[in-house]
Amino acid sequence: MADKVVSEIKAAGGDAVANYDSVATREGADGLIWSALNKFGKLDVVVNNAGILRDKTLLNMGEQDFRPGDRCPPAGHFLVTQAAGRMFKVQAKGGRIVNTTSLSGLLGNFGQGNYAAAKGGIYSLTRTPRWSSSGWA
């Protein structure tokens, strides 16, 4: 899928690079940032859009159904934001982080307790300042 999106961006006159690392690990998050740096020489913006949806009612949900949402979002959003924030600090030119979440994270949705918990965590992470008056902290 990543290769398809890169092809579409290039066909429209843009430039892009695919990365296949898992954002659910520190190594994957760092690899994602390094792919962008190797291709473009700098980092301006990061869009965190990863998610795992495994619908089941609460009483039918096993621990393994709940944990996948805990590993990717919000952990993936945290790891990528942290890796990007470190690069923004080194570059000393600022940057932007865009986190996507879901209304399910704010209001809940039947059969999505695991997804709602993960997406609610992303909302909270996004609302928490990541920088001080002197820059990224």
Q: Count CB neighbours of 1 within 10 A.
A: 6
Contact status, residue 52 vs residue 68, Cβ threshold 8 Å: yes
Considering 78, 88, 115, 136, which one is annotated as catalytic? 115
Helix spans in 2-128 (H)? 2-11, 26-40, 63-71, 75-91, 103-107, 113-127
Q: Which residues of 56-74 are buried (b: 16+ CB within 10 A; e: fewer)?
A: eeeeebeeebbebbeebbb
20 among known catalytic residues: no
Helices 113-127/63-71 angle, 10° precision: 20
Measure the CA–CA gap between 101 and 13, rounded to whole angstroms: 29
> Residues with catalytic annotation?
115
